Amino acid sequence: MLEKKPVASSRARCLVAILLALTCHASAAINLSPAETRRIGNKIWQNECGGTVAGLTSWNTGENFASLGIGHFIWYPKGVRGPFDESFPKFVDFAAARGTKLPAVAAEKTGCPWNSRAEFNAAAQSPPMKELRAFLARTVDLQAEFLVHRLREALPKMLAEGGASNHAQVQERFDRVASTASVTLTNASSMTTVGRVWPAPES
């Protein structure tokens, strides 16, 4: 019997529901210019990481993974599994497909090279960590684009889990709060919740 995995809070699901409705129902608002994408990325960076380069890499107490970038993308050490989908390697692939130069620790694709929070914090000023932060700092706009991509990907899962009644609720909230591109910009910081809304796939 499979062990039951933790689920995200209902508040996080609600926030993602509204944003998913926005991506699905107002495609014009999601076809953002480079300047708009950068603005969204900078807003999330400020809200989630204090707008600092150091804030782009963290490992929270009690967790078994690193949280990277403006979207707190999850990166597990090699051989480690957890309740949430591992999103950092997916962002790395997303960035590589757009010709972005990758840091060595990410390009190797062997998992997070630090096995614990203690190791991660001890390496805060190491060359690999500095290279990783530099990569994250120069791809803020790409991370914002990736967050929108993740929201679109999550929509079928969300509707399947919630059923028709959930779909109607999402539509109602969308009609109330999301009708123009400005709503996307106003709610941009809420996009970070998508990284932890969906559990990792069962094996």
Strand locations in 4-155 (E):
57-58, 66-68, 73-75
Q: Is the pLDDT of residue 51 over 50?
A: yes
Residue 119 scores a pLDDT above 80: yes
- Per-residue pLDDT of 61-84, as tens digits, reads 999 999 999 989 999 999 998 888
Q: Percent of the chain having pLDDT more than 70?
A: 60
Cα–Cα distance for residue pair 12/83, rounded to 1 Å: 15
Average pLDDT over the chain, rounded to whole? 74
Q: Quote the pLDDT of residue 16.
A: 40
Radius of gyration of the chain (CA): 17
Counting residues of the chain whose pLDDT is more than 90, the rounded percentage is 42
**Given its phi and psi angles, is residue 126 left (phi above 0), alpha (psi -120 to 50 degrees) or beta?**
beta
User: Against a cut of 0.75, is the pTM above it?
Assistant: no
Model confidence pLDDT, tens digit, residues 121-172? 999 999 999 999 999 999 999 998 898 787 767 666 666 666 666 667 755 5
Average pLDDT over residues 103-124: 95
Query: Higher model confidence: residue 60 or residue 40?
Result: 60
Residue with more model confidence, 63 or 41: 63
3-state helix, strand, coil in the chain (%, to 5): 60, 5, 35
The pLDDT of residue 164 is 67
Six token digits for residue 33: 């210019």
- Angle made by CA atoms 146, 202, 110, in degrees to the nearest 5: 60
